[in-house]
Amino acid sequence: MVESNEKSDKTPKLSIKDLSIFYGKEKVLSNVSFDIFENEIFGIIGPANSGKTSFLRILNRMDTFVPEMRFEGEVVFDGKNIMEWRNLYALRRSIGVVFPLPVGLPMSIYENVALSPRLRGIRSKGELDSIVERCLRRAALWDEVKDRLNVLGSLLSGGQQQRLTIARALSQEPKMLLLDEFSIAVDPVTTMKIEDALKDLRNEMTIILVTNLVQQARRLANRTAFFLMGEFIEEGNTEDFFTGNVQDPRTRQYVQGRFG
Amino acid sequence: MTPKPLKNTSDTLDFAWYLDKAVEKLVFLGGISGIIFIVGIFIFVFKEGLGFIIANMDIAEFFGNPAWRPTSDEPTYGALALIAGTASVTGLAVLTAVPFSIGSAIYISEFSTGRTQEFLKILIELLAAIPSVVWGFIGLSIMNPLIIDLFNVPIGLNVLNAGVILGLMAAPIMTTIAEDALKAVPDQYREAAEALGATKWQVTFNVVLPAAKKGLMSAVLLGVGRGFGETMAVLMASGHSIHLPTSPFDSVRALTATIAAELGETAIGSEHYRALFTLGILLFIVTFFINLTADIIVRGKGDR
Ligand SMILES: Nc1ncnc2c1ncn2[C@@H]1O[C@H](COP(=O)(O)OP(=O)(O)OP(=O)(O)O)[C@@H](O)[C@H]1O
Ligand SMILES: [Mg+2]
């Protein structure tokens, strides 16, 4: 496995050891181990059904929605094993998630972004206004919606809704942001806008980017991991993936587009 | 040279086409006969009641006089006490039923899982199937002595008794409808909100309940409609005496109970008989408006 030497002196933000994920008896991902550091975008690539979404679900304990889902191994976030966090909600608050298909909550644009701060106890209108504006700006949506913050979030276009969910995730003030194939329902122009926004966000948090566009990983990710059919193949500097400097021939084949 | 026209061979009427047409006709027949029955009932009630309204009714007396004395030598047909009886019992029933049913709907839909959830759903359906005469019986034999003991009043058949009984009776149906409304809220919303770090209760209160508010409101209204039209349990638990209620411990008489108790003893076509049908029209109109409101709320595009 490629060790990223220049990072090894820092303590990882997220540390994963021997993680395996199961639905009932079926194992859908096995033996994942790697560390992710602050201020990096970590890409995860792999074909359909390779276990990428399942992996993200574990990180903020969204496995609780699927009764038969469980995992083995160790996931340490922010210095604490995620199973040992006493306040599950605090863990989730510090990890923002963006789903493949945008889920606008059935409320106004403003309320979508203000919900999480409100739940944290922020009441002042001025403070909420400024949080909403800041998050929408950082998600590259502010200019398009600033005059209609009170319309239903679900009335926005698909690409706008996706940026709304990014703004909503940012309103949690997360330390880590998980993006699951965010560009699946988004046009190329919007995709580029979001990608630019992510490059800026990298300076403030840790980002995990699941994508099945290998070129997107190349554009954004500092390091990348490759999952294949429930197997963790390898992890390394993204550039190495594209210069063919990899351990496993299957990685090279996938990156070069010669794969099933 | 003009090209030879194509000969179409695919446009044939096959079995599936005929079946579709036949089923369409059959369903139409079923639907239309249902409507005909309803309209028939409507016409029958109105024909009888309307005669009274035109010939004998004094609107001011009907809505303003509490004295319902159809059998006295100088009959008066004041429905005010009956209307007040029905309104007070229904109002108390709603106050009783709403917290119970919305609460249990939330618990069943949002907090319980697996077997507990299944068990509770079946239980609620069983409760909804209890015949009203059984509720009336509970009102007579359990609530009555209980109220007398607890509040030290001479009689326990009153607004309180009937209201609570009716509330308990309407609660299972309200629960079922409210639970359907909550279940109709997509799980994605719950997931998205929980991913934000919202607690279960925050998700319920801030996302699920607002998203389901129309369904919940119509659940309450249908419960009200149910209480309004209920006869047997109210007849047994309310004391059935004509009173303008001033406290929950007053006995009252409901519109429905009046019709049920008196209709058998009147001569068909008599003034009294027709007056009872007028009460029927009143019930009909109010129930109709309650259901209509519920319907408008459900369909309404009232989102901001
Ligand atoms: N709720 C579930 N119950 C049972 N099996 C599941 C469930 N969700 C996912 N799986 C299985 O887990 C495996 C991995 O799925 P996952 O969604 O993690 O893949 P993915 O890499 O995200 O795929 P895609 O690129 O298509 O999104 C699949 O074989 C899938 O069938
Ligand atoms: Mg996926």
Residue B119 located in a structural domain: yes
- Res B304: pLDDT: 37
Q: Which residues in chain A are closer than 8 Å to B193, comparing Cβ atoms?
A: 105, 115
How many domains are there within chain B? 1
Tell me the shortest Cα–Cα distance from A180 to chain B, in angstroms: 13
Per the structure block, which two tokens stand in for B151? 């509040």
Helices (H) and strands (E) in chain B, counts: 14, 2
What separation in Å is there between the alpha carbon of A49 and the centre of ligand 1? 5
Residue B251 located in a structural domain: yes
In the predicted structure, residue A3 carries a pLDDT above the cut 70: no
Residue B297 located in a structural domain: no
| Neighbouring residues of B150: CB distance < 8 A, sequence distance ≥ 6 | none
- The ligand 1 site (C-beta within 6 Å) comprises A 23, 28, 46, 48-54, 66, 212
Q: What percent of chain A has pLDDT over 90?
A: 73
In the predicted structure, residue A207 carries a pLDDT above the cut 70: yes
Strand partners, A22: A27, A70
Domain of B161, in residue numbers: 87-255
Q: What is the pTM of this model?
A: 0.82
Q: What percent of chain B has pLDDT over 90?
A: 60
pLDDT tens digits, B238-283: 988 888 989 999 999 999 999 999 998 888 888 899 899 999 999 9
Q: Which residues in chain A are closer than 8 Å to B191, comparing Cβ atoms?
A: 62, 65, 99, 103
Residue B136 located in a structural domain: yes
Q: Which residues in chain B are closer than 8 Å to A168, comparing Cβ atoms?
A: 196
Partner residue facing B210 (CB), from A62, A96, A107 = A107
Whether ipTM exceeds 0.90: no
**For B212, nearest residue in chain A (alpha carbons):** A106
What CATH number is given to the structural domain containing B106? 1.10.3720.10
Tell me the shortest Cα–Cα distance from A57 to chain B, in angstroms: 10
Domain assignments of chain A as residue spans, ordered by start: 14-255
Place of tokens 């007396």: B61
Tell me the shortest Cα–Cα distance from B190 to chain A, in angstroms: 9
Instruction: Give dist(CA A224, CA A213) in Å, integer.
Output: 12
Q: Which of A260, A210, A231, A256 is nearest to A21 (CA)?
A: A231
By alpha-carbon position, which residue is closest to atom 9 of ligand 1? A54
What separation in Å is there between the alpha carbon of A52 and the centre of ligand 1? 8
Ligand 1 atom at minimal distance to the Cα of residue A227: 21
Q: Which of A121, A160, A115 is nearest to A139 (CA)?
A: A160
Q: Is A14-255 a domain of CATH 3.40.50.300?
A: yes
Band of residue A9 on the pLDDT scale cut at 50, 70, 90: low
**Mean pLDDT (whole number) for A122-127:** 94
Q: Which H or E run includes A45?
A: strand A41-45
Instruction: Give dist(CA B181, CA B162) in Å, integer.
Output: 28
CA distances (Å), origin A75, targets A83, A229, B91: 8, 21, 56
Query: What single letter denotes the amino acid at residue B145?
Result: P
Residue B157 located in a structural domain: yes
Report the mean per-residue pLDDT for chain A. Answer: 90
Rg (CA), chain A: 18
pLDDT tens digits, B161-179: 999 999 999 999 999 999 9
